[in-house]
Amino acid sequence: GGSFFSWFPIGELYSDNYYDLSMWGKIFDRIHHFILPLICYMIGSFTVLTMLMKNSLLDEVKKDYIRTARAKGVSEQNVYLKHALRNALIPIVTGIGGFLAVFFTGSLLLEMIFQLDGIGLLSFKSVLQRDYNVIMGLLFLESVLLLIGNLLSDIAYILVDPRINFE
């Protein structure tokens, strides 16, 4: 299985001798155990954002205002960074609010692979056991996270979209 190199543990949240370690030892032990799940999480989230950003930037580069900026003699770096990138970020910022709730609650597969006790596994077990109080609490938590994510998305939208100003 996953123990060929034994660089990182593939299960549990801490080592067997966790309670015998010093404070810094406990911190490094936790970091050591969280590296693989975090890498898996980041790869999954990063690929979606990368594809969305690439497609959005390719759509923006084909527009007339980019052609006009190039015709005016603006350098390619400024064309991409100041004109195309800012407008290409608008769809990313719009959709990133929903990622916050999914990030915290959509982790069932990773929690099962790495044997972690988290919100995804708790919600799965609660549905199987018909524990309605826990299900309602988790749905409330996910709703609050979605609202906070949408609020942060709207605030970031003000910073990114050149058409919006409050003056």
Residue 42 host element (H or E): helix 23-61
Chain center to CA of 167: 32
Q: What is the pLDDT of residue 165?
A: 73
**CB-count burial class (<10 Å; 0-12, 13-18, 19+) for 97:** buried
> Which pair of structure tokens corresponds to residue 103?
């990030």
133: pLDDT strictly greater than 60: yes
141: pLDDT strictly greater than 70: yes
Tens digits of per-residue pLDDT, 23-45?
A: 999 999 888 888 888 888 888 77
User: Whose CA is closest to 101, among 55, 60, 153?
Assistant: 153
Tens digits of per-residue pLDDT, 92-118?
A: 888 887 777 777 666 888 888 888 888
